[in-house]
Amino acid sequence: MPAPFADIRSRLLLVALAATPACVDAPPSPDVLDDPRCFGANAEAALADGASFDSVWSKVREAGAAMEPATFEACHAGEESLASVAYDVTSADYLDVIEGELGFSADQAELLANNGFVVLDHQRHRTFEAAYSSLYAADLPVLVTSDSLLYALHRSFDRILMELELAVLQGEVELMLSEMHSALAELAVPPELGPAARDLDVYLAVARSLLTQDMTPQPTITGAEADEQVAAILDDVAAEQLATLDLFGASADYDYSQLQPRGHYVGPLEPYFRALMWIGRTQMPLIDSTKGEARLNRRGLEAAVLTGELLDQGPRARWDRVELVLRQLIGEPDSMSPATLDLYRADAGLGDLQALAAADDAELQAALLAGEYGVQRIMSQVISTQAHAAQVELPQVFSLLGQRFAVDSQVMHAVTFDRLRDPQTGAKTLRMLPHEFDVAFALGSKLAGELLADELDTYGYQGVLHELRFLIDAHPDSFWRESVYNGWLHALRGLDAPTEQADYPAAMQTEAWRRKTLNTQLASWAELRHDTILYTKQSYTSAISCEYPQAYVEPVPTFYARMAEVAAQGVSLAATLASQGHPVPEVEAYFEHMAYVMGRLESIASKELDGVALDEDEWEFLRATIEAEKVGCANELRYDGWYGGLLYSVEDHGDFRPTIADIHTAPTDAEGRSVGWVLHAATGYARSMVFTVEDCGGVRAYVGPVSTYHRKLTEGLERLDDGQWATELDQSPPEPPEWTRAFAR
């Protein structure tokens, strides 16, 4: 049974992954543009001849189905890296000053001499602004790093989102739910739709109860039995474990641990988090295909249509405003929404509730299937299945404000049970947890594919990864501009541009630099998942008077250009909010400043690669990276300069805020035992990196802050929040991943 994946043209159609493989000859050493065994490894080349997407996709599937690990390695091999830099690192200008200030161990000095750069584990900083400030105070030559810019984006995006939720979204959602519940009490519901109306009553009462500070049960309109179910559901919310939920004509295992507030939602936004998580994850099933045959769930469909009717009584404008903001921030929902419900009602001829009550099941189902309404691309609920049973087909569902589709979640969904099959036998592969390298490879990191060698040898899913990589690479530019979330991922993809060419510094041509880049990407991805944890659909397995003497910008101009595109998306979001009566001039000014800075950095980085001298204005810009001053009676630190301006809120300056976000849930292990594994992606301290560059003036050394990435696995559906993680880092910090020892000691 083929595994479902989204067709690139609409991302709504299902296409097949990893068909039955054929045998291949000895491992090839192919040219990826010419060898048919590698077809699709370069998506741009595969699509360049004007052939239809379907025909190209068919050939990509053929290549993926026949692909063995050695073929995969050859097809997706990175550029040849330098074994070591050729110059004498010890001759670098300022290196003696840097060593005197920071101190090097013998291991660190060896890595620096070999790679031309080294990350110093003992030089830890609680924030990036503090790291830059310490360089400023010590008069050390500064390196402007991509890590620091991504960190500033995270801190600012997280704060801006929090302010939007407090000032706009929370109030709109609360009023929308209240108005919908009142409208339900007044709505003339045909008797045939009574059970669906009763379920909707419970659903709305639970959501409104969760919006109260102490989860006070809100009364239903349909009586004592509904009130009792609301109270029982709230008890399950408090228990934060798996429990059965009977609602909308279906009975399902519901993961209430997802309603535990985490990220920036710990605090005043806890009620909003619980309510939105309930709304986003509690679906109205329309078509159930989990048993292998499509079956209409009429009660779920009736509840969905009733939801649309309630919105049309007045709250629709509030829903429109919230939905528009969430689409610009995160993306489209992975379910039928009230907007697509209107299209379905037109297709099915459901002009009013009486028409729905009289409609034939077969006709209702046919319209749902024909229009592919409510098709999901990511499994984010607990669905139990047997290892030898047919592959689970996800139900078609409706959600009021459903969680958002994310390509990285889709990758993790596609490479775990029960999506994977053994390439030789066709049996389901019992891979219960994804790896962050799966996501990194699919987004463009060839190194991540190399580091997955053991996983591929064990589970043999290289063909699926090959297909995922093609599908993501084939997305048009418009996809990456649809939301801030997609734009952020696209900026990270910009760091995958090969740096092995001669115009890049030798240190960036080493294997160690490839690993440092992967660390940067994963740390920022962890921050992105942290910031959007409420809205992004998670995948499940079934079952001071100084100046810098010199400065250098990490020369990755494509990255800076894509960060400028993220800033443009932020400016557009501010315009949208202003058009809705919620002007946010501070947000607009922040993103305009970000766009300006990224434009300057892109220009400087391009000059560095081209060997063109910077002008005095550009040097002045780099000298003004950051300044620190103490303000107020408490002598609180404030940071100025263009980097200080990249941190949206001065209230956050200097605060230690490492992030952790749960990214995937596996309810059971491969033997079916209940384990409740929760995989987290996390960040730690900023660390100092010493980086050397050889140019016509000799070798120079610089220092800049870089990120630390951590992977954390918990059991019993334990979902860690930032406070718990910060305590662990302070009291017993885990070692960075082993694969980072090539550049960090």
pLDDT value at position 81? 94
Per-residue model confidence (pLDDT) at position 3:
35
Mean pLDDT to the nearest integer, 419-444: 88
218: Cβ–Cβ under 8 A, 6 or more apart, which residues?
205, 208, 209, 212, 230
Q: Describe the strand order of the beta sheet including 698-706 as a list of residue ranges.
A: 117-125, 686-695, 698-706, 142-144, 551-553
Q: What is the pLDDT of residues 20-32, one digit of tens each?
A: 233 233 343 446 6
d(CA 279, CA 277): 5
Q: What is the pLDDT of residue 638?
A: 59
Task: Express each pLDDT in 199-246 by its tens digit.
Answer: 999 999 999 999 999 999 999 999 999 999 999 999 999 999 999 999
- CA-nearest of 701, 681, 694, 691 to 744 is 691
* pLDDT for 559 beyond 80: yes
Quote the tokens at residue 284.
């109205």
**Is the pLDDT score of 300 beyond 60?**
yes
Strand pairing category for 660-668 and 636-640: unpaired
242-247 and 284-288 strand pairing: unpaired
- The mean pLDDT value for 448-473 works out to 95
Place of tokens 């995948």: 539
Residue 529 has a pLDDT of 96
Rounded Cα gap, residues 444 and 158, in angstroms: 25
pLDDT digits (tens, 9 = 90+) for 683-717: 999 999 999 999 877 899 999 999 999 999 999 99
Cβ distance 597 to 646 under 8 Å? yes
Could you identify the residue written with the tokens 């230690």? 656
Residues 6 or more apart whose CB falls under 8 angstroms from that of 639 comprise: 129, 132, 133, 626, 627, 628, 647, 653, 654
The tens digit of pLDDT for each residue in 80-130 reads 999 999 999 999 999 999 999 999 999 999 999 999 999 999 999 999 999
SS3 122: strand
Q: Report yes or no: 3 and 421 within 8 Å, Cβ to Cβ.
A: yes
Residue that wins the pLDDT comparison between 647 and 651: 647
Task: Report whether 490 contacts 334 (CB < 8 A).
Answer: no
Hey, what's the torsion of the CAs at 375, 381, 385, 391, to 10 degrees? Answer: 20
Confidence at residue 421, expressed as pLDDT on a 0 to 100 scale: 81
State both tokens at 740.
């980072």
Does the global pTM surpass 0.75?
Answer: yes
Q: What is the mean pLDDT of residues 451-463?
A: 94
Provide the pLDDT for residue 362: 96
CA-nearest of 79, 163, 204 to 582 is 163
User: Is residue 294 predicted with pLDDT exceeding 70?
Assistant: yes
Q: Which two tokens stand for residue 352?
A: 């009013």
High-pLDDT (> 90) share of the chain, %: 77
Q: What is the pLDDT of residue 50?
A: 82
Helix axes 316-329, 170-186, angle to 10 degrees: 140
| Residue carrying the six token digits 């059971």 | 668
CB 648 within 8 A of CB 588: no
Give the whole-angstrom CA distance, residue 625 versus residue 645: 9
Q: Are strands 3-6 and 660-668 parallel, antiparallel or unpaired?
A: unpaired
Q: What phi-psi label fits residue 486: left (phi over 0), alpha (psi between -120 and 50 degrees) or beta?
A: alpha
Model confidence at 309, pLDDT cuts 50, 70, 90, reads very high
3-state secondary structure of 335: coil
Asked whether the beta carbons of 545 and 620 are under 8 A apart, the reply is no
Q: Which amino acid is at 208?
A: R
Please, are residues 118 and 744 in contact by the beta-carbon 8 Å criterion?
yes
Q: Which residue has the tokens 């939105």?
A: 276
Digit-coded pLDDT (tens) for 362-421: 999 999 999 999 988 876 665 555 555 556 678 899 999 999 999 999 999 899 887 788
pLDDT at position 723 is 95
Where residue 671 falls among pLDDT bands split at 50, 70, 90?
confident
pLDDT of residue 303: 98
Q: In the prediction, which pLDDT does 428 show?
A: 84
pLDDT at 427 > cutoff 70? yes
Q: According to the model, what pLDDT value does residue 79 have?
A: 87
Residue 665 has pLDDT above 80, yes or no: yes
Residues 6+ apart with CB under 8 A from 495: 146, 517, 520, 521, 556, 559
Sign of CA dihedral 69, 74, 77, 80: positive
| 600-621 pLDDT tens trace | 999 999 999 998 989 999 999 9
The answer to whether 358 and 367 are in contact (CB under 8 A) is no
Helices (H), 372-429: 407-414
Q: Which amino acid is at 203?
A: Y
Share of the chain above pLDDT 70, in %: 90
Has residue 280 got a pLDDT over 90?
yes
**Looking at residue 632, what is its pLDDT?**
43
> pLDDT tens, 491-550?
999 999 999 888 999 999 999 999 999 999 999 999 999 999 999 878 766 653 334 448
Q: Is the peptide bond before 418 cis (omega within 30 degrees of 0)?
A: yes
According to the model, what pLDDT value does residue 626 have?
A: 72
Provide the pLDDT confidence category of residue 459 given band limits of 50, 70 and 90.
very high
**Residue closest to 508 by CA, chosen among 520, 518, 498:** 498
Angle between the N-to-C axes of helices 462-473 and 407-414, in degrees from 0 to 180, rounded to the nearest 10: 160
Burial of 505 from C-beta contacts in 10 A (0-12 / 13-18 / 19+): buried
Q: Which helix (H) or strand (E) element contains residue 693?
A: strand 686-695
pLDDT for the residue 32: 61
Closest alpha carbon to 264 in 654, 659, 715: 659
Query: Of 446, 518, 550, which is closest to residue 743 (Cα–Cα)?
Result: 518
pLDDT exceeds cutoff 70 at 422 = yes
Give dist(CA 509, CA 79) in Å, integer: 9
User: 683 near 641, Cβ under 8 Å?
Assistant: no
Where is average pLDDT lowest: 150-159, 346-355, 388-397, 462-471?
A: 388-397
Cβ neighbours, 10 Å, residue 620: 11
Helices (H), 187-223: 194-210
pLDDT of residue 23: 28
